[in-house]
Chains A and B, each alone.
Chain A
Amino acid sequence: MPATVGWVWLVLLFPLAGFLANGAISVLRLDAKRAVTTIGVGALVLSFLVAVAVMAGLAGAPADAPYVLSLWQWMPAGRLEIELALQVDQLSAMMLLVVTGVSMVIHVFSVGYMGEDPGYARYFSYLNLFVFFMLVLVLGANFPVMFVGWEGVGLCSYLLIGFWFENEAFANAGKKAFIMNRIGDVGFLLAMFMIFQAVGTLSFIEVFEYAPRAFAIGGTAITLITLALFVGAIGKSAQIPLYTWLPDAMAGPTPVSALIHAATMVTAGVYMVARANVLFAMAPISSFTVAAVGAITALFAATVALKQWDIKKVLAYSTVSQLGYMFMGVGVGAYAAGIFHLTTHAFFKALLFLGAGSVIHALHHAYHHTHSSEEAQDMRNMGGLRKWMPLTATFMWIATLAIVGVPGFSGFFSKDEILAATFARGHEAAAFYVLWAVGVVTALLTAFYMTRLMIYTFHGPNRSGEKEQQHLHESPWVMTGPLLVLAVLAIVGGLINLPAVLPGSGWLHHWLEPVTELSAAYLPEVHLSHSTEWVLLGFATLVAALGIIGAWRLLKPAALKPAREAPEETGIQKVLLNKWYVDEIYDTLIVRPIMWVSENVLWKVIDKGIIDGFGANGSANLARAMGWLGSRLQTGYLGTYVFLFVLGALILLRVVTGWEL
């Protein structure tokens, strides 16, 4: 193992130490803002540097088997030995760089954004802890360690979404995220269990090596396993039907939305599918399901984003949509493409969120000065902000061009590769053409709603108010600096994986080959002729242009009114604004019936004054109802107890003598 690769455990150590140190500062209520900043940001800088060293070490060494660094044996119990082991290979090193790099930038941004928040130390400790768990997830060498990271990031997400937990709605958003993640996790656990039953081990290297022997290609076992894994991914990466938590998660501080809900945690599902590429390649039905769910989610979320007024919600639905693209990519077997889009998305989505954060920060500041209680996140209260925040506007335009897929920007290359891969598989099944078409329509919608966002926020007349305008200004360098870095990445990021028709192509694809080659045996050989590629590239450009121009011409920012004066929406616009009423449907079909049953069963207990509401979790109320019944059995009379005792004894005796008595 190259020397620097062996340092990988340091990458975990720094954020963990940062969490403990800042956590202590927070619990002890020390007034040490400088220290918190140094520790919090410093930990990430150090992590990033080590990550670079690890990557360099890996790149320099011959690309043989992945390097596994075993830290210690956690539990030798029975057949299963769980090791706390880290795996450094091309995929995990790539993710390592992305996670530490983007996190570092966002940490710096947070210094400015959260500067005045009383929970400053707590914020940084949670953020560091999150990075720690994300790195555990990415570096794990076996399913259990990955699961520990999986759960850990879920926990941190909960803590950070509900950061301002005194606000009940925000705390509930955190709970919703946690619960939906949990539902997905059942899938992950089931998959782990099934894998262990079949293969007898849970370490990645071994599982992927034995898988071809243990499972029949396309058989029930492997399909169930991969579907179960995908269920976990659906929960974590906010795909249909477990996506509703992500828009609600916008309740947390904006840097949190940038880091967790754009760049890192939500991509864990994509990473997981890419990591288990062998398994998915062996189960074509599951792979197609992945791609189809991804495509449908992408389209659906894009339609909702068309009509949202809250700037963060637009970006949230955009994230769901882009995640759909990533799943489409890994679903059709283009694992490198999926990871590529994951990377570029991290750059431009983080940039978009941070930029939005800058804008919200500025508006908050302005409203604070004028003692107004307007909604700072509503785009109807913005407009023409490029006059006061030129830098932010420029950077966000760069990100917009990237996400829309304008040639030359990173998003263009990553999105195109996914679409090309989907198209290329079309000749084996027409369904893939359908997916490709869905992807193209989504791209059109993406261009439209992103341009809409930019127009309403930065262009046109300003709707914030006369007095507020005086207080609007560009954010300080600690906040715009990170934007600059991300903007540069959003532009040049595409270079790491240019399409085949261009020179210097496919660096990332080649880099990841040692990881993805295992699955190559099960995937059909796909080949796009150069001319088809050029046509697709051109088509993509055309679609992007159409979207942008369409939005520019059709939308009239001048006609907008500030949020409180805005008219009610009607018709299809209302449906889109209300997110197709999905939350309401969930509520009516699932939550309400369970709650009705338990409320009516528990009615009597209200006399005893024991009832305690359990929030929106209807299934918990059901279990409580059953528990209440059992509790009623505990009458307090000795006679009852003895009776049940004797009854139990008689039954036991009958069983033990085999009904001979």
Chain B
Amino acid sequence: MLLGPSLGLSAVLFSLGVAGVLFRRNAIVIFICIELMLNAVNLSFIAFAQQLGRSGQVIVFFVMAVAAAEAAVGLAIMIAIYRHKDTIDVREINLLRG
């Protein structure tokens, strides 16, 4: 498989994820974009693994496990916020500042 284009795609996906985190308001969507970033990195791991051996693919498993744990925790936190403020729009959430 072509390494170059794969890496390019990975970079594009990563950047899209970053853009999403920057510009979206809904906390869940922000988190989805973060997941997008993580999966973009997974893509590059796999691309590299083609050239360098299977350890890259094994790493992807680890990353997926971590991402799942993060998702669980993150959604729980969002529920907690929702219970207090009835919204998960990050523009509404700024009690802590200064």
Q: Within the complex, are A and B direct neighbours (CB within 8 Å)?
A: yes
Binding site for B on A (CB under 8 A): 631, 634-639, 642-643, 646
Whether A631 pairs with B98 at a CB distance below 8 angstroms is: yes
Whether B90 pairs with A646 at a CB distance below 8 angstroms is: no
Bound together, the chains give a CA A637 to CA B25 distance in angstroms of 11
Contacts of A638 in B (CB 8 A): 30, 90, 93-94
**Minimum C-beta distance from A415 to chain B (A):** 61
* B21 beta carbon closer than 8 Å to chain A: yes
Whether B96 pairs with A636 at a CB distance below 8 angstroms is: yes
* B84 beta carbon closer than 8 Å to chain A: no
Contacts of A637 in B (CB 8 A): 90-91, 94, 97
**Minimum C-beta distance from A620 to chain B (A):** 19
Whether A642 pairs with B21 at a CB distance below 8 angstroms is: yes
Whether A646 pairs with B22 at a CB distance below 8 angstroms is: yes
Bound together, the chains give a CA A501 to CA B95 distance in angstroms of 84
* B16 beta carbon closer than 8 Å to chain A: no
Contacts of B91 in A (CB 8 A): 637, 639
Whether B95 pairs with A636 at a CB distance below 8 angstroms is: yes
* B28 beta carbon closer than 8 Å to chain A: no
**Minimum C-beta distance from A609 to chain B (A):** 12
Whether A639 pairs with B22 at a CB distance below 8 angstroms is: yes
**Minimum C-beta distance from B9 to chain A (A):** 18
Contacts of B94 in A (CB 8 A): 635-638
Interface size class of chain B, counting residues whose CB lies under 8 Å from the partner chain: 10 to 19
* B18 beta carbon closer than 8 Å to chain A: yes
Contacts of B95 in A (CB 8 A): 636
Whether A639 pairs with B97 at a CB distance below 8 angstroms is: no
Q: Which residue of B lies closest to A641 (CB)?
A: B90
Whether A643 pairs with B90 at a CB distance below 8 angstroms is: no
Which 8 residue pairs are nearest across A and B when measured between Cβ atoms? A636-B97, A636-B94, A638-B90, A637-B94, A631-B98, A634-B98, A642-B22, A642-B21
Whether A646 pairs with B18 at a CB distance below 8 angstroms is: yes
19 further contact pairs, Cβ within 8 A, besides A637-B94, A638-B90: A631-B98, A634-B97, A634-B98, A635-B94, A635-B97, A636-B94, A636-B97, A637-B90, A638-B30, A638-B93, A638-B94, A639-B22, A639-B25, A639-B90, A639-B91, A642-B21, A642-B22, A646-B18, A646-B22
Whether B93 pairs with A643 at a CB distance below 8 angstroms is: no
B6-39 CB contact bits vs A (8 Å, 1 = yes)? 0000000000001001100100001000000000
Q: Which residue of A lies closest to B24 (CB)?
A: A639
Bound together, the chains give a CA A635 to CA B95 distance in angstroms of 10
**Minimum C-beta distance from A395 to chain B (A):** 62
B67-98 CB contact bits vs A (8 Å, 1 = yes)? 00000000000000000000000110111111
Q: How many A-B residue pairs have CB under 8 A?
A: 27
Given A637-B90, A638-B90: A643 in contact with B22 (beta carbons within 8 A): yes
Most-contacted residue by chain A among B90, B95, B97 (CB, 10 A) = B97
Bound together, the chains give a CA A501 to CA B18 distance in angstroms of 90
Q: Which residue of A lies closest to B92 (CB)?
A: A637
Bound together, the chains give a CA A635 to CA B94 distance in angstroms of 8
Most-contacted residue by chain A among B21, B95, B96, B98 (CB, 10 A) = B98
Q: Which residue of A lies closest to B21 (CB)?
A: A642
Contacts of A639 in B (CB 8 A): 22, 25, 90-91
**Minimum C-beta distance from B87 to chain A (A):** 13
Q: Which residue of A lies closest to B95 (CB)?
A: A636
**Minimum C-beta distance from A359 to chain B (A):** 55
Contacts of A635 in B (CB 8 A): 94, 97
Which B25-59 residues have C-beta < 8 A from chain A? 25, 30
Bound together, the chains give a CA A636 to CA B96 distance in angstroms of 6
Bound together, the chains give a CA A639 to CA B20 distance in angstroms of 11
**Minimum C-beta distance from A660 to chain B (A):** 15
Q: Which residue of A lies closest to B30 (CB)?
A: A638
**Minimum C-beta distance from B90 to chain A (A):** 4
Contacts of A636 in B (CB 8 A): 94-98
Q: Which residue of A lies closest to B96 (CB)?
A: A636
Contacts of B93 in A (CB 8 A): 638
Contacts of B90 in A (CB 8 A): 637-639
**Minimum C-beta distance from A398 to chain B (A):** 64
Contacts of A643 in B (CB 8 A): 22
Contacts of B30 in A (CB 8 A): 638
Bound together, the chains give a CA A635 to CA B96 distance in angstroms of 8
**Minimum C-beta distance from B8 to chain A (A):** 14
Bound together, the chains give a CA A646 to CA B17 distance in angstroms of 12
**Minimum C-beta distance from B28 to chain A (A):** 13
Bound together, the chains give a CA A637 to CA B95 distance in angstroms of 9
**Minimum C-beta distance from A639 to chain B (A):** 6
Q: Which residue of B lies closest to A649 (CB)?
A: B18
**Minimum C-beta distance from A635 to chain B (A):** 6
Contacts of B97 in A (CB 8 A): 634-637
Bound together, the chains give a CA A561 to CA B22 distance in angstroms of 79
Bound together, the chains give a CA A174 to CA B74 distance in angstroms of 54
Q: List 7 A-B contacts (CB under 8 A).
A: A635-B94, A635-B97, A637-B90, A637-B91, A637-B97, A638-B93, A638-B94
Bound together, the chains give a CA A637 to CA B92 distance in angstroms of 8
**Minimum C-beta distance from A628 to chain B (A):** 10
Contacts of A631 in B (CB 8 A): 98
Most-contacted residue by chain B among A631, A639, A643 (CB, 10 A) = A639
Bound together, the chains give a CA A140 to CA B47 distance in angstroms of 67
Contacts of B21 in A (CB 8 A): 642
**Minimum C-beta distance from B46 to chain A (A):** 23
Q: Which residue of A lies closest to B27 (CB)?
A: A638
Most-contacted residue by chain B among A631, A635, A637, A643 (CB, 10 A) = A637
